[in-house]
Amino acid sequence: MTQTDFFTLLPAILLTLWACALLLVDVFTPGAHKGRTAFLAALGLAFTLGVTFLQPGEYTGFNGMVVRDGFANFLISLFLLTGLLGVAVAYGYLRRMGIERGEYYSLMLFSIVGMMLMAQATDLLVIFIALELLSIPLYVLAAFAYPNTASEEAGLKYFLLGAFSTGFVVYGIALTFGATGATSIAAIVAATAAGVANKALLLSGAALILVGLGFKTALVPFHMWTPDVYQGAPTSVTAFMAAGAKAAGFAALIRVFSSAFPALAADLTPILWALAALTMILGNLVAIAQSDIKRMLAYSSIAQAGYILMAFVAFGSDLARPVAISAALFYLVAYTVSSFGAWGVVISLEKEQGKDLQIADYAGLGKKFPWLAAAMTLFMLSFTGLPPTIGLIGKLYLFRAALQGGLYWLAIIGVVTSLISAFYYLRVVLTMYMKDGQPDVARETWLTATIVFSALATVIISLFPAPLFDWASRALLMVMK
What pLDDT is stored for residue 26 in this prediction?
79
User: What end-to-end distance do the CA atoms of the chain give, in Å?
Assistant: 26
Which one, of 26, 50, 30, lies nearest residue 40 by Cα? 26
Answer yes or no: are the C-beta atoms of 352 and 442 closer than 8 Å: no
How far is residue 440's CA from residue 230's CA, in Å, rounded to a whole number?
23
How far is residue 120's CA from residue 70's CA, in Å, rounded to a whole number?
10
What pLDDT is stored for residue 480 in this prediction?
45
H helices within 146-184, ranges in order?
A: 149-180
> Contacts by 162-167 with C-beta closer than 8 Å and gap 24+?
162/135, 162/215, 162/225, 165/211, 165/212, 165/215, 165/216, 165/222, 166/128, 166/131, 166/132, 166/135, 166/212, 167/212
Regions in the chain scoring below 70 on pLDDT: 1, 31-34, 56, 315-320, 353-356, 477-481
Three-state SS at 358: strand
Answer yes or no: are the C-beta atoms of 394 and 403 closer than 8 Å: no
How far is residue 288's CA from residue 166's CA, in Å, rounded to a whole number?
31
What pLDDT is stored for residue 378 in this prediction?
94
Answer yes or no: are the C-beta atoms of 62 and 184 closer than 8 Å: no
Q: Does the global pTM surpass 0.85?
A: yes
Cβ burial, residue 386 (10 Å; 0-12/13-18/19+): middle
Separation in Å, CA 80 to CA 38, 57, 312: 14, 18, 24
What pLDDT is stored for residue 277 in this prediction?
94
Which one, of 378, 377, 381, lies nearest residue 395 by Cα? 381
* Helix (H) or strand (E) run with residue 123 in it: none
DSSP 45-96: HHHHHHHHHHS-S-EEETTTTEEE-HHHHHHHHHHHHHHHHHHHHHHHHHHH
Which one, of 302, 311, 329, 309, lies nearest residue 77 by Cα? 329
The length of the chain, given as a count of residues:
481
Residue-number span of the structural domain to which 52 is assigned: 3-480
Give the type of residue at 262.
P
Three-state SS at 194: helix
Give Cα 432 distance to the centre of its chain.
28
How far is residue 210's CA from residue 201's CA, in Å, rounded to a whole number?
14
Our count of domains for the chain comes to 1
Peptide bond into 11 cis (omega under 30): no
Which one, of 104, 74, 87, lies nearest residue 11 by Cα? 74
How far is residue 327's CA from residue 470's CA, in Å, rounded to a whole number?
10
Which one, of 433, 233, 414, lies nearest residue 311 by Cα? 414
Peptide bond into 387 cis (omega under 30): no
